[in-house]
Structure 1
Amino acid sequence: MGIRAEHLALAPTGQGVRTTVALVEHLGDVCIGYLKLDGVNELLHVKFPSRRLDNLAKGMALNITAQADDVMAFNAHGQRISV
C-alpha cells in the first residue's frame, strides 16, 4: 500500500488515524511532518502548506486521513495493481 505525502489530510479529533509528530521540517511554503504510527516501524511522511501547520511540533498528536482514490496498492514485485 502507498499514498503520496501530499494526499494525506488533517482529520478532526476522534476521526482518521491518530499519529504522533516525530520530526518537522519547515520549508517555507510547506511543512514536511514525519509521523509515528503505533505498530509501524517506519515513519509516515505528510506534506502540508505551512500556513495550515505553522505550529506543528515534535510530540504533538495529529489525526490524519486520506481519500480512498489516493491510496495505491502494489504486488510483491512492486508493480501497481488495481483494487
Structure 2
Amino acid sequence: MRSDGTRVGLWQPVSSGRHAFGVRARQAEPGETVEAMCGAEVDTDELQRVAEEIDWIMKQTCMDCWRLLKEQQQQAQQQQS
C-alpha cells in the first residue's frame, strides 16, 4: 500500500519499463492516464494491453517502484511489531 493508501494491483511492462500500478489503474477508462507508484504516467490503453512475454524479459524493473514498495513493506512490518 502506498503512503496515500493506494494498494498495488499489478506490475506491468510499459514503454518506460516494468512499473507497479495501483488497483484503480485496472479500472481506469480507455484514454485516461494512470500513475505508477513512482509517479510515471501511462495511458490506460498501454497499461491494460496483454504484455508479450518478450516485454517481461526486455523491460527493466523500475527501481523507484521497487524501492517504494520495499519501504512500505518495512513500515507495515514495523507497525505490526
Higher strand residue share: 1
Tell me the TM-score normalised to structure 2 length: 0.27
TM-score by length of 1: 0.26
